[in-house]
Structure 1
Amino acid sequence: MTARRVARVLLDSPLPQLDRLFDYAIPASLVSEVAPGVRVKVPLRSAGRMVDAFVVEVGEQDDADRPLSELDTVISTVPVLTPGLYALARRAADRAAGSASDILRLAIPKRMVRAEKAWLANPLTAAPVVDEDAATRASLVLADFPGLEDAILDAGRVALDAPPRLAQPSLGAWAELLAAAAVRTLAAGRSAVIVVPDHRDQAQVASALAAWAPDGSVVETDARQSSPARYAAFLRTLSDAPCIVLGNRSAVYAPVHDIGLVALWDDGDPLLSEPLSPGVHARDAALVRQELDGCALLFAGHTRTSDVERLVGVGWVRELPAQRRTSPRVVLSATREGESRGARVPSSAFAAARGALESGPVLVQVARPGYAPVLVCAECRHPARCRHCGGPLHARAAGAVPVCTWCGRSASGWTCADCGSDKVRMVSSGSERTADELGRAFPGTRIIVADGEHPVLHVDAKPALVIATRGAEPIAEGGYRAVILLDGDRMLQADDLRIGESCLRWWSNAAALAAPRAPVHLVGVAGPVARALATWTQPAYARAELEDRIPLRMPPAVRVASIDGDRVAVDTALTALREGVPEVDPTWVLGPVPTENGARALVRFDYSAGSKVTDALRASVIADALAARRANKGRRQPQGRPQAPRNTLRVRVDVPDLDL
Structure 2
Amino acid sequence: MSRRRVARVLLDSPVPQLDRLFDYEIPDSLAEAAIPGVRVRVPLRSAGRMIDGYIVEVDESSDSDRPLSELEEVVSPIAVLPNTLYTLARRAADRAAGSASDVLRVAVPKRMVRAEKAWLAADPPAFPQCDLDAIGRARAVLDEFPGATAAISEGNRLAIDAPPRLTSTNDGAHVGAWAHVIAASAAVTLATGRSAIIVVPDHRDRAQVTAALADFLPADAIVRDDAAQSGPARYAAYLRVLAKAPCVVVGTRSTVYSPAARTGLVIIWDDGDPLLSEPLSPGVHARDAALLRQEIEGSALLFIGHTRTSDVERLVAVGWVREIAARRRQSPRVVLAAANDGDGRGARIPSSAYRAAREALALGPVLVQVSRPGYAPTLVCSDCRKPARCRHCAGPLHARRPKAAPECTWCGRTANNWTCANCDSDRLRMASAGSERTADELGRAFPGVRVVVADGEHPVTHLDDRPALVIATRGAEPIAAGGYRAILLLDGERMLLAEDLRIGESALRWWSNAAALAAPGASVHLVGVVGPVARALATWTQPAYARAELEDRGPLRMPPTVRVASLEGELAAVTDALQSLHDTVPAVDSPAVLGPVPIESEDGPRVRALVRFDYNLGSAVTAALRAAVIAAAMRARKPRGPRAPRVRNTLKVRVDVPDLQL
TM tier relative to shorter chain? over 0.9
Q: 1:324: which partner in 2?
A: 328
Could you tell me how far 1:636 is from its partner in structure 2? 8.1
1:183 and 2:197 equivalent?
Answer: no
Q: 1:464: which partner in 2?
A: 468
TM-score, with length taken from structure 1: 0.98
What does the per-residue CA deviation read over 1:608-636, in whole Å, with 9 as the maximum and x for residues that have no partner? Answer: 0000000000011111111111xx43478
Q: 1:633: which partner in 2?
A: 639
Q: 1:243: which partner in 2?
A: 247
Q: 2:106: which partner in 1?
A: 106
Contact between 2:632 and 2:649, CA under 8 Å: does it hold in 1?
no
**Bigger mean CA deviation after superposition, 119-128 or 192-201:** 119-128
1:84-103 aligned within 5 A: 84-103=84-103
Separation (CA, whole Å) in 1 of partners of 2:613 and 2:319? 20
- Could you list the runs of 5+ residues in structure 2 that have no partner in the other structure? none
- Among residues 233, 237, 258, which one is paired with 2:237 in the alignment? 233
Q: 2:10: which partner in 1?
A: 10
Quickly say closer, same or farther: Cα 1:42–1:647, change in 2 above 3 A. Answer: closer
- Among residues 592, 607, 619, which one is paired with 2:627 in the alignment? 619
Q: 1:555: which partner in 2?
A: 559
Q: Which amino acid aligns with 2:351?
A: S
- Among residues 552, 574, 596, which one is paired with 1:570 in the alignment? 574
Q: Which amino acid aligns with 1:24?
A: Y
SS of 2:319's partner is coil
Could you tell me how far 1:78 is from its partner in structure 2? 0.2
Separation (CA, whole Å) in 2 of partners of 1:225 and 1:28? 39
What does the per-residue CA deviation read over 1:588-622, in whole Å, with 9 as the maximum and x for residues that have no partner? Answer: 11111122341111100000000000000001111
Contact between 1:621 and 1:650, CA under 8 Å: does it hold in 2?
yes
Q: 1:353: which partner in 2?
A: 357
What does the per-residue CA deviation read over 1:295-321, in whole Å, with 9 as the maximum and x for residues that have no partner? Answer: 000000000000000000000001101
What does the per-residue CA deviation read over 1:409-449, in whole Å, with 9 as the maximum and x for residues that have no partner? Answer: 22121111111111100000000000000000000000000
What does the per-residue CA deviation read over 1:549-587, in whole Å, with 9 as the maximum and x for residues that have no partner? Answer: 000000000000011111111111111111111222321
What does the per-residue CA deviation read over 1:500-542, in whole Å, with 9 as the maximum and x for residues that have no partner? Answer: 0000000000000000010000000000000000000000000
What does the per-residue CA deviation read over 1:337-377, in whole Å, with 9 as the maximum and x for residues that have no partner? Answer: 22213100100000000000001000000000000000000
Separation (CA, whole Å) in 2 of partners of 1:208 and 1:151? 22
Q: 2:654: which partner in 1?
A: 652
Could you tell me how far 1:657 is from its partner in structure 2? 3.5
- Could you list the runs of 5+ residues in structure 1 that have no partner in the other structure? none
Q: Which amino acid aligns with 1:659?
A: Q
Separation (CA, whole Å) in 1 of partners of 2:81 and 2:401? 53
What does the per-residue CA deviation read over 1:186-211, in whole Å, with 9 as the maximum and x for residues that have no partner? Answer: 00110000000000000000000112
TM-score, with length taken from structure 2: 0.98
Q: 1:151: which partner in 2?
A: 151
Separation (CA, whole Å) in 2 of partners of 1:37 and 1:255? 12
Q: Which amino acid aligns with 1:165?
A: R
SS of 2:452's partner is strand
Separation (CA, whole Å) in 1 of partners of 2:596 and 2:363? 59
What does the per-residue CA deviation read over 1:623-655, in whole Å, with 9 as the maximum and x for residues that have no partner? Answer: 1111111xx434785xxxx84624421100001
Could you tell me how far 1:253 is from its partner in structure 2? 0.2
Separation (CA, whole Å) in 1 of partners of 2:72 and 2:511? 56
Could you tell me how far 1:170 is from its partner in structure 2? 1.3
Q: Which amino acid aligns with 2:658?
A: P
1:464-483 aligned within 5 A: 464-483=468-487
Contact between 1:42 and 1:53, CA under 8 Å: does it hold in 2?
yes
1:63-142 aligned within 5 A: 63-142=63-142
Contact between 1:483 and 1:520, CA under 8 Å: does it hold in 2?
yes
Contact between 1:123 and 1:239, CA under 8 Å: does it hold in 2?
no
Q: 1:588: which partner in 2?
A: 592
Contact between 1:306 and 1:543, CA under 8 Å: does it hold in 2?
yes
SS of 1:289's partner is helix
Separation (CA, whole Å) in 2 of partners of 1:471 and 1:288? 28
- Among residues 271, 276, 292, which one is paired with 2:275 in the alignment? 271
1:512 and 2:516 equivalent?
Answer: yes
Separation (CA, whole Å) in 2 of partners of 1:397 and 1:657? 32
Q: 2:407: which partner in 1?
A: 403
**Bigger mean CA deviation after superposition, 592-601 or 84-93:** 592-601
SS of 2:521's partner is coil
Separation (CA, whole Å) in 2 of partners of 1:591 and 1:416? 34
1:609 and 2:611 equivalent?
Answer: no
Work out the number of aligned pairs and report it.
654
- Among residues 488, 492, 497, which one is paired with 2:496 in the alignment? 492
Q: Which amino acid aligns with 2:623?
A: D
**Bigger mean CA deviation after superposition, 24-33 or 271-280:** 24-33
Q: 1:362: which partner in 2?
A: 366
Identity between Structure 1 and Structure 2 (%): 70
